[in-house]
Structure 1
Amino acid sequence: MATTRSKLGKYKDKRRFGATPEPAGKVGRKAGASFVIQEHHASHHHFDFRLEIDGVLVSWAVPKGIPEEPKAKRLAVHVEDHPLEYGSFEGEIPKGNYGAGTVKIWDKGEWEPEGRSWRKDFEKGKLKFFLRGTRLHGEYLLIRTEEPNWLLRKISDAAPFEAAVELEREKAKFVPFQLAKVVPTVPSGSEWIHELKLDGYRIQAVKAAGKLQIFTRNGHDWTDKFGTLAKRLDALSTNDFALDGEAVVFDEKGRSSFGLLQEALGVRARYKPGVEICFVAFDILHFDGLNLRPLPLSERLTWLSKLPIGETGSIRRSKVWTSDSGADLFREACRLDLEGIISKKLTQPYAPDMREWTKSKCRPRQEFIVCGYLPPKSSLPAFSSLVLGTVENGKLVARGKVGTGFSDESRRQLLRKLERLRTDTPAFKFDERNVVWIRPQLVAEVEYAEITRDGSVRQASFIALREDKSAKEVHLEGVQKARADSRGSTVHGITITHPDRVVFPGDGVTKFQVAEYFERAGELILPFLTNRPLALLRAPEGVGRQLFFQKSFDKGQPPNVYAKTLSDGTETIFVKDVKGLVSLAQFGVLELHPWGAAYPEGDKPDFLIWDLDPDSSVEWPEVMGAAFLLRDFLHARGLEPMVKTSGGKGLHIQLAIRPFYGWDLMKEFTKQVSIAVAAFNPPKFTTVISKSRRKGKIFIDYLRNGRGATCIAPWGLRARPRAPISMPVSWDDLHQVTPAGFTIDEPPQAPAEWTAFKRQRITKAHIKEFGLA
């Protein structure tokens, strides 16, 4: 075996291990077959693909992402071998170090070379292999063109290993559920299967050491609640097993009914002991001492067939439709007034930490936290409506109210539960005065038409209380309603071509979702965009690929986007309405950067910006403290700024002013304010742009305050992983904001100071104070 130094020499030579958290590592002495893919936000965003070979991770940098579809090819640049310990490394490589930036594990698992002579083939520049990871499965090929350049290609979705996987032996036990994410379009492809979305309780039936237990998604033991069903499940096999499925009651038309299920469980007063509760099994996680979760779904379904479960009866298999019929199944489900369908990849293992299953909804429907209720009106008994909320970034957020879907009797029954939870503490600010607040513990399932611009439900209808989900789990789901296919995909009257193109590959956010976001947040964004020049960041092929920053269009200008030439010859573009914003999304635009001055010439700013840009070593509370310090400095001079997240690691302080002075004077004003604030704590603040002077400090950036300079728009989307938003927040709520910030999946917040801001006057006294007169 080669020495540690010879195998890892280049790796060690490039790093200063006292200054970087990366592992120094050593050559492994046990044969292994691990692989890891790490997303690396360095000077150029890329993915690092690493295969364990002879005690090290042989590595390639893949600039445009790992191919996930057969026949797709990617350039893979061969780089230095890495130690095995690097396979679990995640974190921030500090600036000034080789590869500075954020490293995050994107996928990991096992690999197997194809053929006995694979080593000889590898030396000649060819490696054919199988991957079995959380995201990636199938047959791949690496082929060298000219060192260091190779091509990485996915060949097929073939079974990942030539031999059966050696399954881990373990005792059957409850494990976290594999969950599904809401998507706007039914997925298609030979690797997908589809099932009807059932309206019941998701449960696991776990038999261990001869004892059968039924667990809810929170791990609560509901064996006693299900009584007869538990006994029938116990009789399925003398072997241990763990089944994933849904407890349901079917109505006279054969549709699952959550209301009937609640009655059968005695949740409502009208208990019907004669109603049969069924278990619909759709997955098996364990059998006879073997952990089946690492297997692809196709193999798990084969194991499920070993149990005597038919297509009918009190214990039955979930009916499966193939990929070709997914869109038709969805349309039929909606026609029959069902909730929607679930889609699953046959190649995926059971991975609770990855939402690889998808759900397509006919009509938006999800859980909300009951935070209060309003007294009865007219002839309604008990209460008129429930006040709803969700938890976002650790904070309760108002989601409007629901007043339909109740019978008179169910209102009275529910009121008894509500009264036991009464409190004097409001959950949040609400636009009605007579709210009776309760402790936020009850979870209600609600159907609704849409989420409005301010984040509230519209045309909501109560379905039932959910006892199988805790309030802290309730977040607003980002996508509201699915489409059967990609044809005729329109947003705000604009046809979106290639609506299912994934533009945020690590997050599954599509071009259609970006257009929907621009529509949803459009009325909030427009006051900061209309009648002013605009710069754009386009990502036609998605984040992680080539980006284009442009302030005008030489040709091919999108419809509903307008051009204007200023008197000095500067070519500019602007939009007038939401239709223009959606047109930009159709054109591949992700980021919107308005000027801080309006037409006719854009020469007198009406917005000033201070960008608090922290070094990677600066803790988040210090960034918030800097924002409050800058706010207080301006407050003391009679100025009321606003604050928003940057969509990155910092904060933006924005001041709306009357357009009186020119750019040069206002840029100097913002500079002097920055210098004065930085003087309060020189070890922690800097106004110097040089990166070497910013280590461990917050850079108070005033440089966006110049003619032609721009800043991301309030509520603007950022072309970064997680699809973050530059979200306006109120000063009162800033202390509750976390470094994670906000993403496209969350409804736009609309603080009053941002939706009803007033322009303030920079006075002669302000100018004189800083010696600018």
Structure 2
Amino acid sequence: AKAGQARRLEFIEPQLATLEKDAPGGDDWLHEVKFDGYRMQAQIAGSEVRLLTRAGLDWTEKFEGPITAALAKLKCRDAIIDGEIVVLADSGVSSFPLLQADLSARRADRFIYYLFDLMRLDGEDLRREPLVERKQALAELLGRQPEDSALRFSDHFHEPGKVMLQHVCRMGLEGVVSKRADAPYRSGRGLSWIKSKCTLRQEFVIGGYLPSDKTGRGVRSLLVGYYEGGKLHYAGRVGTGFSGKMLTDLKKRLDRLEAKASPFSAAVPKGKGLTFVKPELVGEVEFRSWTSDRIIRHASFQGLREDKPAEEVVQEKPKKGQSEAKPDAKPAKASAGTAKTAIKLSHPDKLLWPDEKVSKQDLLDHYALVWPRMEPFVVNRPLALVRAPDGIQGQRFFQKHASPGMSDRIARMKDPTDGEEILYIKDFDGLAALVQYGVVEVHIWGSTIDALEKPDQIIFDLDPDEGVDVGKVREAALDIHRKLDELSLPNLVKTSGGKGYHVLVPLKPSADWDAVKDFAHDFARALEQAAPDRYTATLSKKARTGKIFVDYLRNGRGATTVAPYSSRAKKGATISMPATWPEIEKGLPPNAFPLGDETTLAQLKKA
């Protein structure tokens, strides 16, 4: 049992991470998942528990409930712990909008407090101890928590920083915080904690808004900015990401702050009903990129940040430049996404999908947006290409080898078994070169160029006969999911962009092609034997009548399947999109995501 009321502890200014483009490598670093929540310092003194924001505000009352109760049960006289409070979405990823919604609704049952540092324990200041020792002490303090506990130890990984960042981006997380394993705890921003992000996101000061024409909506867009040299610089408008209740609350707060003069240091674009406000509210915004004149593009509002004073908001810049062109260079037209390329598109307005009005530039913009997620699946992996230089209504070519005029950004190597040429890409310039070359589908081998003979995935491609209901195809995907779970094989799913789904089993690259293909064939035959009226493992059209062909042939050496996030040469300009099993259960169709559509952009914004 703890002593009763003890002397209150002093607030410790938190240590902050510096933004860099890449996660650091080397054995000196630990890597943690970057959470999307509120940074919170827990102070335990006798029987009293307090929760303080990174600015030192007391928010204990806001989060009172399971978190404070669990902290009070920890076996210590006193402690100061650093962490982040989040709410997890169904996908298991932290969601700032859900956290805000629960705070508004005074709902405390979903809050989870991830703890990642311990600065004081039982009267002893631990800040000079190495991080690894502080985390060890924190793990021992937490002990074995109940499964439904509101407290979680934020584990770390020793993977190379680049690999870790690829993993978290592939999972749709926000990014990585890398910390020097031997470093003390130093308040303020420094270089012993580095944050690297999958998407661009930061806080902005709200300096005005445009009212909505729609009844009850209140706000059409926010005018936001950041401080530099004591002045508030305009950074653009934010017009998406609002929910109904959030808008109502936001409008009330903006009304109370209405101002006659603009708070921005320079003139801003005018709009009907433009209203300025005192620059006191801070909002978190996710966006695709910065323009050359420092305006944000494709911005989405994530929620208000009440834990950060407005005057502290500045433009976050990576220490390593984000592939910015040199002043004397003449870059190609920048894509709208986060990735940049030196590849110049000829005829960027050429419509590759004429009915859908989707151009070459639109396709490049899509790939720029998804590149942080797509890169791990397509780089250094043998490719097959579907080209439609005159658009998908013209002639199409399936191509595995180089041809005249192909950019040198598309790499080549010799297949060691037969001397045939293999194509692959090393970076985003390679993918941009494929777009320039009229490639409308990117297909990948199940192995990398470094381990050609050792596949790192199994693919089951569900290919229904004409007329088979999409609901039956969805049930088939879920059936395979359950059977793979029974075999304790991890499995993922993506839409094909056409009529079916692709179920993927990630592998450690150790088995050879024959072993992997034999397993896939046996699995497909077992499905057929268990439900011969639903499935076939035979390729012929005749065997497939009224059934779903479980295509295991994608698992042979040299066979390919369409890459995650690739466009499809199909009506609707759809893409092959990774999804979650709960989304499939809720009825997500295989052609749900047209390129550039709001549905697709919303899916990509999910944590």
TM-score, with structure 1 as normaliser: 0.39
* Rg comparison, structure with higher value: 1
TM-score, with structure 2 as normaliser: 0.50
Higher relative contact order (CA 8 A, sep 6+): 2
